[in-house]
Structure formats: C-alpha cells, structure tokens
Chains A and B, each alone.
Chain A
C-alpha cells in the first residue's frame, strides 16, 4: 500500500505568513479517517483537520505533525426540504451547500464573508455572519456532529447526549476529534435576493448611535470603516443593512468563481497613499449606489469571492487579520482608541469591518462571538512595525475586557488568549490527545 501521507511545505493558511512542513493526507471516504489517525499516532505525530484553509493564521496548521485535509469528504447525505434539515460530510463547502439548497427556497442559517469554507471548519470556528444579532452563530443551528476520536472511536454528539463534548466541539478549533459528518438546520427564503439599504456613517459615534436601532430593523447589518481617516472623520464609513426579499427567483450563485489574482502584488503596491486612495474611492463608490437596492445574495454576503486568491494582494510576505469583540459598555471608547492608533500607524487595511453581535449566549466553550461590537482588519506583514501595532491593539482590547478571534489569529500571546477565554481548560479536558495545532500549543503554553 502506498503511504497516505505526503510531506508538504509552504503557506497553507489564508494570511500566508505562517509556513511549515506537514505530513498531509487527503482521505476520500470518512471510513478512512480512523486508520489515518492511527498511522499518525504510530509515527509519533499529532494530527489536525484542515478544511479549505480560510483561517488566516495558525489555528488550522500543525507544522511538524499531520494534517488531514477533509475536502475529499464532500458527500451530501440527506436533505429534508420539509423539515429543513441537512446532513452532510464535513468537507462539503458552503459553496456546494448553497448551490444545492437555494433552488428549494432554503438557506444556511448564517454565512461568513466567504462561501469557501467547509462545514467542519464552520463548526470548529463557530462562524458568524452579518445576522448574528438575529440568528446567533453557526453552532446554534447544529443538531448533531459525528466525530472520529483516536481514543474513543466514532462519537455521535448532540446537546442532549454529551453536552460537554458538544460545547467543546462548537468553536473547538478542531481539537475534540475529526468531524466526519454533521446535521444542521436550514432556514426558508422566499427569493435569492436581498433588499439592501446603504447609508453613510460620519464617524464612530454615528455608528454606535444607530447600530442598535438598525439591528432591530434589519436581519443583516455590517459597516465598512475607512481606517485611514482620522480626527473628525475617525470611523467614517458606510453602513449596509439587508433583509431577504419576499419575492424573486431562487437562483443560486454561479458555479465558477471569478478570475484569480495571478501573482503576488509587490509589497510597495500597498502603502499609506494607495490605501488612502482605495478607501476614499471605495467609500465614494458605495455611497453612489442607490440607498435602497435589491441585489443577489452572493453580492451581499460574499463580494470578495468574485476575486479568487485575493489574499495575494498583500504581497509575498502575507498579512495578518485582527478581529476583536468588545462588550457594549466599553466598545465605543475602545473602538475609537483602536482606530486612532491604526490611523496613526499608516498601516490601515483595505477592508475594515465593524458590526455588532446580538445577545445570544456563546454556543461553544471557545466561541468567539459575544454581545458587543466586533472590529476586523487586515494588516500587511511588514514585520516588527505590524507586530507592535497589534500589540498596542491587544492592550486596548484587553483593558476593555474584549477578546480576539482565533480563526484570524497567528500571534496572540497565551495571556491574551486565556484572559479572553477563561474556560479554555474545558476544551483542553475534552481534547483528543492525538490532536493539536500550532495555535493551541502557542496559547496554552506557559
């Protein structure tokens, strides 16, 4: 028999900063996973599941160990249109799911900013969308999960049968077992179109003044912030809200993604001037659109998916994402402080996103979303400069009692992690002893 593991090097996470050598296996049947775990164990390696690699930093990486790529586990198992329940293998992508269910008038209960995530990855990060305030995070809609564990074999886990393992697995960063299959609830839609409302934001206060009201008025809300603006204009941007249109065709998005960015942009292409120009132009373009418009869901939820490999925009050195969430009591001041620091650095990003999370209690032990405001930004990797900016942001977030999103992180300190997720030991207790990631080793090491 040929060796199912191959040695591979290079960038495998979305930010393209972290590199490492992995023993990679690509099973095509869920039944093959058990043996792969045993083989990894026999070689003295730890293992980790890897979906579509859309996490930015190192939570989906395990350098020196094994990676089990789940994309071959991509079969649907059952769709009950009446009951609105879908069961599928963990490597099925949201892209595939939406193409299959939209014609039936069904949609995923919540979707992240890209369709190119797997079902397993969405569970392991308990992903959120623009409708967190009306639907909660993805984990809330998961009915059951089938795990393969090196120590206990196959486990079918629900909130009822094993509440602790279930809560550790939702947002569990892939550490509680390889997810083979999952069953989720779907939601009905009357059309594939969203009625979008676009309005200008004059600054941080404006956002916080209207965010609550807009969240009550609309199912989906998100703001884009020009993070190069400072002074009076600090936090200026565009707020976009949306609701499912009550009539229109049930046409899924097209099968083929758009053109790919063919090469890395040279590092100098991204400098304070180009960033400022881009942000100004972007704001202008957004505000030129009609205040109200009916648009297809793909344009509303997944505008970035129309350019494949856009992560190469940041050049060969890659980039970091930084996403925080801060409770409402301190969010306004902390957001102002972060934006001030970022504008001063000249390191702002193309797309800075600000949104509020609703009052849903976190679904998993390590779920990122909690009530408050979340700010997400990209920073080109310019080495020390970028790291010291993020260290300053860490201080603001920590002081405000906030936390960072592991899916986006490749560098937070153990202290920062443990302060944000004081219950992390519950996941450590439920961890499959064979599974680990670079992220986990970093943030749990003292």
Chain B
C-alpha cells in the first residue's frame, strides 16, 4: 500500500537495525513512535527522522522488560500516531553465555529481555492489531538464526530466540487461517555488523550491514511470508546446520 503512510511502533528503537529501518520508513513518509531506554538518544533519533521525511515522531523512554502496561502503552502509541498499523520489535540481549551457565541472574536477564518480555509485547501487539488495523496490520520481530539449533557458544540466547520464533510462527498460523487478519513476520538474522557484535572479528560475505537489514525489513512490511532469513542465504546455511548429525556437530566449535 503506497497511498497511505504507515504508522509504526518501534520497540527497541535505538538498536542499529531499528535506526536504519526507521530511517527508511521515515523517507517514505511514515509516522513513528519510538520506544527505547535512553530518552535523550531517542529525541535525537526523532529529530533526525523528522528531517528525513517522517510524518509525526514521538518517543517513550522505558525499560521494555516492564510489561505490566503493554496495552496502555500500545493505546497511547496508537493515539499519538492516529491509528497504529505496524509494530517492529528489535530488541534482545546476547548476554554472556558462560556467565549465564554459572550465574542465574545473567541467565534470567537474557531470557527476560529476549523472550519473556518480547513475548508479552508480541501478544499485546497482536491483540491491538486484530482489533484495529486488521489486514493492514503488520507485526514484525527480529529473531535470530541462533534459535534454529542450539550451540555451545550462545544457547541460552538461542533458546530465547527459538521461543520468540515459535511464538511468531504460531501467530502467523493463526492469522493465516483468518480473513482480514494482520500479518506476522519473523526475521531470522544471521551476522549483522552492529554494536551488539562489536567484540567479534567481522568482515566477509556472511556479514550484513544494518542498511541491508533495513531493506529486508522494508520488504517484510509490505509483503514477505511468515519467516524471513536475513539475508536470504541463511535459510540454506541453517538447513545444513540443522541437518548435520549430532556426532559431527559436537566436534564443530561454534
């Protein structure tokens, strides 16, 4: 739909991918409601997006793991936007795998941020879009290929992303069987060059930039199917990874 500008809620709006995606949508005249933790940084993004062509831009500084008031916040966002039709969820925390195995606090942090709270936002967002935007609505989450098969270097994070992916898969299944229902799209991201991965050696054809992801998000908003590997070749990499027998996989240091 090009005749009507999108009205977008961005959860985790300060992540590098969220910022680039918001810029692309602003350039197309979308209105945005940005939620993230740092109020000052959100205001700077909002100023930027206005110059890039956004309709209205509002911000809310909060900790997204606080999910008591999801419905109220969604209603407020919708009021500010004049009807919310697109929800983009970008947040999650990679955390420290070794720490998560020894420290229950670190494990809880990874799971709370990446799955428990994200799931609450997805469910609240689904309620909202079912009641409001209906078939124009889009709910998109940024999950990870780490959820496709557990591996020793990040399986706590991976399990949380797996949960998110299954939740979205179920939602897409439900909506797929209904007329006039919104669309659920789950991105499974491979390696993306962002501050979250700043300690990893980068470079090479497997690494995507936040700009690459923003283009994929743009397509996802308009027409993609329920599961989108980002970029696309991860579908085949993960096919191979999932098909690898345990007796081989256990020797691979991943």
Contacts and interface: CB of A to CB of B under 8 A. Distances in A.
Interface of A: 2, 28-29, 75-79, 86, 88, 96, 99-100, 103, 255
B51 A78 contact: yes
Contacts of A2: 198-199
21 contacts: A2-B198, A2-B199, A75-B45, A76-B47, A76-B48, A76-B50, A76-B51, A76-B52, A77-B44, A77-B47, A77-B51, A78-B47, A78-B51, A79-B50, A79-B51, A96-B52, A99-B52, A100-B51, A100-B52, A100-B53, A255-B27
B38 to A, nearest CB: 10
Interface in B193-210: 195, 198-199
Nearest to B16: A28
B195 A28 contact: yes
A75 B44 contact: yes
Main secondary structure of the interface of B (DSSP, over half): helix
Main secondary structure of the interface of A (DSSP, over half): mixed
B108 interface: no
Given A29-B41, A100-B53, A75 B48 contact: yes
Contacts of A76: 47-48, 50-52
Given A86-B51, A100-B27, 6 more contacts: A75-B45, A75-B47, A76-B52, A77-B47, A79-B51, A99-B27
Nearest to A77: B47
Contacts of B51: 76-79, 86, 88, 100
Contacts of B50: 76, 79
Closest A-B pairs by Cβ, 5 of them = A76-B51, A75-B48, A79-B51, A76-B48, A100-B52
Contacts of B41: 29
A96 B199 CA distance: 29
Contacts of A255: 27
Contacts of A88: 51
A83 to B, nearest CB: 14
Nearest to B52: A100
A292 B45 CA distance: 43
Contacts of B199: 2
Among the interface residues B41, B51, B198, B199, which one has the most CB atoms of the partner chain A within 10 A?
B51
A101 to B, nearest CB: 8
Nearest to A252: B27
